[in-house]
Structure 1
Amino acid sequence: MLWWFLPVLAVVSLGLTWMLRRYALASSLIDVPNARSSHTVPTPRGGGVAIVLSFLAALPVLGLMDRMPWEGVWAFLGAGALVAVLGFLDDHGHIAARWRLLGHFTAAFWVLFWLGGLAPVSIFGFILELGPLGYALAALYLVWMLNLYNFMDGIDGIASVEAVCVCLSIALLYSIGGAFDLLWGPMLLAFSVLGFLYWNFPPAKIFMGDAGSGFLGITLAALSLQGGWSSSVYFWAWLILLGVFIVDATVTLVRRLIRGEKVYEAHRSHGYQFASRRYGRHLPVTLVTGLINVVWLLPIAYLVVKTGLDGLTGVLIAYVPLVLLALKFRAGEAEVR
């Protein structure tokens, strides 16, 4: 049994984050608050590299122990490393948006090469096989998840808590559904994030940085595609569990596009950012994000996996209140200063 490996991984991530914090302080790799920031205290950044190194180093161990197929190992290793390196370089300087986007799509196509694209999807009892169109949609999905996770990493702990809740929830559903061969990917990621979360929990002592947030986004999306090849219900379950981030980021993007704003420019108009300013602290928003995952999204995902609830119906049930919540907290509205 390799379960002992998980707490060890969390400790490794914890130690790596401590070292990265010392490096960031020594190298003046500091996020200084500005008009677009949601924080008020200069804070080291780049701690997400600890998540990347912990997770990627553990993958070959799973492959050698026959706990994960090598196709998955290579998919997560290649795409995760590329996205993390791009984010690390961007954290230390600046990479033009077009080159970042090219790198993101390269990572997406790497994932699709190893995992086989988008699995057939069950909708209202019909099996939808999209063929080449499925590859294109899956590539867009991977790149969107990568970037939205970056967008949603704007207050202390929220991206870490989301990743831990989603990964542990899907691991529970895999166990209930008997898909034990899929357990290790999300469990590794959850424990890699837990070590970092100790330092990132509000009030954060270090930020994740683009290297960590982009890596989490594409890895979670790739894990969801992998799950879909086992059963369509697992892909739907992933979409439900990721609902808080998907809805807030998408509603914000759509409303900014309608106003004609440059969506690639930094801003503070996500629903969670308005909420953190309304309550004057990051902690309540981060905790409620985890609470929504556990008490609302997980039960709906369970119904899809175990009771035969249609996946698309489950997504709609899960998302409608989240859309209303995003609108209540003004997601995508212009900020009045």
Structure 2
Amino acid sequence: MSAGLLLILVAAPLCLWLTGILRRYALSRNLLDVPNARSSHRLPTPRGGGLAIVLVVLGMLPVLWLLGWLEAGALIGLWGSGLLVALVGWLDDHGHVRVSWRLLTHFAAAGWGLVWLGGLPPLPMMGAVWDMGWAGHLLAMVYLVWVLNLYNFMDGIDGIAGIEAVTVCVGAVLLSWLAVGQAGLPAAGVTGVLAAACAGFLFWNFPRARIFMGDGGSGFVGLMLGLLSIQAAWVAPELFWAWVILLGVFVVDATLTLVRRVVRGVPFHQAHRSHAYQHAARRLGRHPPVSLAVGALNLFWLLPLGVLVVLGWLDGVLGVLLAYLPLAWLAWRFRAGVGE
């Protein structure tokens, strides 16, 4: 067994152990999410457990670099941007950081990561390769900030954020292998570590949450997924569209919810529980079936479409549209963005 694969296997139990420590810390500091009218849970629950994911991933990034599984630029970009987002999220978990300051930090972190990853590479679209230059880099920054924040928005019921991260990352590793063979596995090392760390956290968060990920953890995971999709695009450009497809459930639900709320005149930053997945959880009276359904959609609907894109049998943009249209219909059926 290679050292890189061993590192991935160690990440899960290490994160499980650290999450338990953080749970005790949260209880001792009374760092609890107390249910209110906008909550999807019923009991006061510790928060901030996602810091375990942050510590494991950031701790293993330098090791992956030493093993040759990560380039120096990617190490600096992922480490610096991830730390910045985790720090502002951790502060917000302990008190309150103004929305404007959080957004400024998010854009700074996204910019830092993009610079060290080399920006957005030329992407295949509709039979041609498009190099969008600075416009592409700016769009990529907005994309990263949106993925970061939508991950926070979607982390509202037991297990959903962890299951999303694990299934997306496992799918992305498979797609990387299909795209470039064994040469793609080292580039997918961070993706594997992130999946394993989130799996360790899930022990405490599913099927019943004994601790929540918190803003620091969810923002970090969201940003990592976005940056890893851009890193993968430098390995094989079609992988970017495959990643966007894999992230479809979260992207569609969060985006449709935001648009419908803005159209209704509701402040976009106001806390709520009108996402499609929240409506679905209330309708079923339980969280686990909804979180498991998200994982199933990722593995049995979105991943096969990603395979078609990576193998060149389906254009990336068309693949995204084909993947997202049924998800948009589902989100609409479950009243995404509509108040209770």
Measured against the shorter chain, the TM-score band is over 0.9
Deviations 1:143-187 (A, max 9, x none): 001100000000000000000000000101111222223220110
**Unaligned 5+ runs, structure 1:** none
Cα distance in 1 for partners of 2:250, 2:29 equals 32
User: Which residue is equivalent to 2:13?
Assistant: 11
Of 175-184 and 221-230, deviating more is: 175-184
Q: Secondary structure at the match of 1:4?
A: helix
1:199 aligns with 2:192: no
1:65 CA displacement: 1.0
User: Which residue is equivalent to 2:234?
Assistant: 229
1:275 CA displacement: 0.4
1:281 CA displacement: 0.5
Deviations 1:71-129 (A, max 9, x none): 11111100100000000000000011111111001101101110111111111111111
1:260 CA displacement: 1.2
Cα distance in 1 for partners of 2:334, 2:249 equals 13
Cα distance in 1 for partners of 2:320, 2:178 equals 20
User: Which residue is equivalent to 2:65?
Assistant: 63
User: Which residue is equivalent to 1:286?
Assistant: 291
Q: Secondary structure at the match of 2:232?
A: helix
1:308 CA displacement: 2.9
Of 302-311 and 243-252, deviating more is: 302-311
User: Which residue is equivalent to 2:108?
Assistant: 106
1:217 aligns with 2:217: no
1:187 aligns with 2:171: no
User: Which residue is equivalent to 2:74?
Assistant: 72
Task: Answer yes or no: is the 8 Å Cα contact 2:241–2:317 preserved in 1.
Answer: yes
User: Which residue is equivalent to 1:31?
Assistant: 33
Q: Secondary structure at the match of 2:36?
A: coil
Cα distance in 1 for partners of 2:33, 2:168 equals 27
Task: Answer yes or no: is the 8 Å Cα contact 2:68–2:186 preserved in 1.
Answer: no
One-letter code aligned to 1:4? L
User: Which residue is equivalent to 1:138?
Assistant: 140
1:240 aligns with 2:245: yes
Cα distance in 1 for partners of 2:172, 2:238 equals 11
Q: Secondary structure at the match of 1:276?
A: helix
**Unaligned 5+ runs, structure 2:** none
1:52 aligns with 2:57: no
User: Which residue is equivalent to 1:153?
Assistant: 155
User: Which residue is equivalent to 2:83?
Assistant: 81
Q: Secondary structure at the match of 1:38?
A: coil
TM-align CA RMSD:
0.8
Cα distance in 2 for partners of 1:115, 1:308 equals 28
One-letter code aligned to 2:65? G
Q: Hey, which bits of structure 1, 4+ residues long, moved more than 2 A?
A: none
1:140 CA displacement: 0.3
User: Which residue is equivalent to 1:166?
Assistant: 168
User: Which residue is equivalent to 1:272?
Assistant: 277
One-letter code aligned to 2:126? F
